[in-house]
Chains A and B, each alone.
Chain A
Amino acid sequence: MMNPAMTNPRVLILGIGNVLWADEGFGVRVIENLLTHYVFPENVEVLDGGTQGIYLVHHIEAADVLIVFDAIDFSLPPGTLHSIYNQDVPKFLSAKKMSLHQTGFQEVLAMAEMLGHYPQHLLLIGVQPVELEDYGGSLRPLVKAQIQPAIALAFDYLQNFGISYTQIEAKMHIELADPALDMQRYEAERPSAQEACRLGDERIIYASNIKIIPPQSNPDAIPVAVDFRGQY
Chain B
Amino acid sequence: MTAINTPNGFQLDTGGRRVVVDPVTRIEGHMRCEVNLDENNIIRNAVSSGTMWRGLEVILKGRDPRDAWAFVQRICGVCTGTHALTSVRAVEDALKITIPENANSIRNIMQLTLQAQDHLVHFYHLHALDWVNPVNALKANPQATSELQQKISPHNPKASAGYFRDTQNRLKKFVESGQLGPFKNGYWTNPAYLLPPEADLMAVTHYLEALDFQKDIMKIRTIFGGKDPHPNWLVGGVPCAINIDGIGAVGALNMERLNLVSSLIDQSITFIDQVYIPDLLAIASFYKGWLYGGGLSGQNLLSYGDIPDKANDYSAHNLLMPRGAIINGNLSKVHKVNLRDPDEIQEFVPHSWYAYPDAVKGLHPFDGVTEPNFELGAKTKGTKTNIQQLDENAKYSWIKAPRWRGHAMEVGPLARYVIGYAQGNKEITEQLNFVLKTLDVPVTALFSTLGRTAARGLEAQWAAGKMRYFMDKLMTNLKAGDLSTANVTKWDPETWPSHVKGVGFTEAPRGALGHWLVIKDAKIDNYQCVVPTTWNGSPRDEAGNIGAFEAALMNTKVERPEEPVEILRTLHSFDPCLACSTHVMSPDGIELTQVKVR
Which A residues lie within 8 Å of B170 (CB)? 114, 116
- Distance in Å: Cβ of B337 to nearest Cβ of chain A: 27
Q: Which residues of A contact B225 (CB under 8 A)?
A: 177
For residue A100, CB closer than 8 A to chain B, the reply is yes
Is B423 an interface residue, CB under 8 A from the partner? no
Contact A51 to B76, CB < 8 A, known contacts A75-B586, A102-B28, A133-B593: yes
With contacts A18-B74, A114-B182 taken as known, whether A210 is within 8 angstroms of B19 at the C-beta atoms is no
Chain B residues with CB below 8 A from A129, complex form: 584, 592
The answer to whether A54 and B211 touch (CB under 8 A), given A24-B582, A180-B67, is: yes
Contact B356 A204 (CB under 8 A): yes
- B176–chain A nearest beta-carbon distance, Å: 14
Q: Say yes or no for A213: interface residue by CB 8 A criterion.
A: yes
14 examples of A-B residue contacts, CB within 8 angstroms:
A54-B214, A98-B77, A101-B26, A115-B211, A181-B74, A191-B63, A197-B61, A210-B371, A211-B375, A217-B382, A221-B379, A224-B381, A224-B389, A226-B17
Q: How far is the CA of A213 from the CA of B582 in the complex (A)?
A: 25
**B588 sits at the interface (CB 8 A):** yes
Given A20-B75, A57-B215, A178-B70, does the pair A73, B586 have CB atoms closer than 8 Å? yes
**B370 within 8 Å of A by Cβ?**
yes
List, in ascending order, chain A residues with CB within 8 A of B356's CB. 204
The answer to whether A107 and B381 touch (CB under 8 A), given A20-B74, A96-B584, A199-B598, is: no
Name the residue of chain A whose CB is nearest to the CB of B227: A177
* Chain B at the A interface: SS class: loop
- Judge whether A66 is part of the interface by a CB distance below 8 angstroms: no
Check A178/B215 contact, CB under 8 A, given A218-B380, A222-B14.
Answer: no
A98 to B57: give the CA distance in the assembly, Å.
Answer: 20
> With A and B bound together, what is the CA distance between A112 and B562 in angstroms?
31
Q: Is the CB of B388 within 8 A of A20?
A: no
Complex interface bits, B584-598 against A, C-beta within 8 A gives 1, otherwise 0: 111111101101101
Q: B226 CB to closest chain A CB, in angstroms?
A: 7
CB–CB A225/B18 < 8 A:
yes
B185 at the interface (CB under 8 A from A): yes
Q: Does B355 make an interface contact (CB < 8 A)? A: yes
Q: Which residues of chain B are within 8 angstroms of A74 by Cβ–Cβ distance?
A: 586-587
Please measure, in the bound complex, the distance between the C-alpha atom of A221 and the C-alpha atom of B378, giving whole angstroms: 9
Q: Is B434 an interface residue (CB 8 A)?
A: no
B369–A177 contact, CB under 8 A?
no
How big is chain A's contact interface, by range?
35 or more
Whose C-beta in chain A lies nearest to the C-beta of B66? A180
- Closest residue of chain B to A94 (Cβ to Cβ) is B587
Name the B residues within 8 Å of A189 (CB-CB): 63-64, 67
Q: Which of A135, A203, A213, A223 contacts B375 (CB 8 A)?
A: A213
A181 to chain B: closest residue by CB: B70
A198 in contact with B58 (CB, 8 Å): yes
Known A55-B218, A92-B587; judge A101-B389 contact (CB<8 A).
no
Instruction: Say yes or no: B18 contacts A20, CB within 8 Å.
Output: no
Q: How large is the interface on B (under 10, 10 to 19, 20 to 34, 35 or more residues)?
A: 35 or more
Q: Which residues of B contact A103 (CB under 8 A)?
A: 26, 125-126, 182
- Chain A 65-77 interface mask (CB, 8 Å, partner B; 1/0): 0000001111100
Known: A20-B74, A99-B77. 17 other contacts (CB 8 A): A51-B77, A54-B125, A73-B587, A135-B59, A136-B55, A136-B59, A176-B230, A177-B230, A201-B57, A204-B369, A221-B379, A221-B389, A222-B15, A222-B36, A222-B389, A224-B18, A232-B23
Alpha-carbon separation in the docked complex, A177 to B37 (Å): 49
Q: Which of A98, A115, A223, A228 is the one whose CB lies under 8 Å from B212?
A: A115
Instruction: Find chain A residues with CB under 8 A from B26 CB.
Output: 101-103
Q: Could you tell me the distance between the alpha carbons of A99 and B28 in the complex, rounded to whole angstroms? A: 8
Q: Is the CB of B229 within 8 A of A52?
A: yes
**Does B21 belong to the interface (CB within 8 Å)?**
yes
Beta-carbon contact of B381 and A95 below 8 Å = no
Chain A residue contacts of B584, Cβ below 8 A: 24, 71-73, 96, 129, 132
A215 touches B20 (CB 8 A): no
For residue B22, CB closer than 8 A to chain A, the reply is yes
B residues 4-45 near A (Cβ < 8 Å) are 14-15, 17-30, 36-37
Contact mask for chain B residues 259-289; partner A; CB cutoff 8 A; 1 contact, 0 none: 0000000000000000000000000000000
Q: Which residues of A contact B71 (CB under 8 A)?
A: 20, 180-181
Contact with B along A45-63 (1 / 0, CB 8 A): 0001111111111100000
Closest to A25 in B: B74
If the complex has contacts A54-B125, A57-B211, are A204 and B357 also in contact, measured as CB distance less than 8 A? Answer: yes
Q: Which residues of A contact B25 (CB under 8 A)?
A: 102, 232
Query: Does chain B have a CB within 8 A of A168?
Result: no
Q: Is B561's CB under 8 angstroms from A132's CB?
A: no
A93-124: which residues lie under 8 A (CB-CB) from chain B?
A: 94-103, 107, 110-111, 113-116
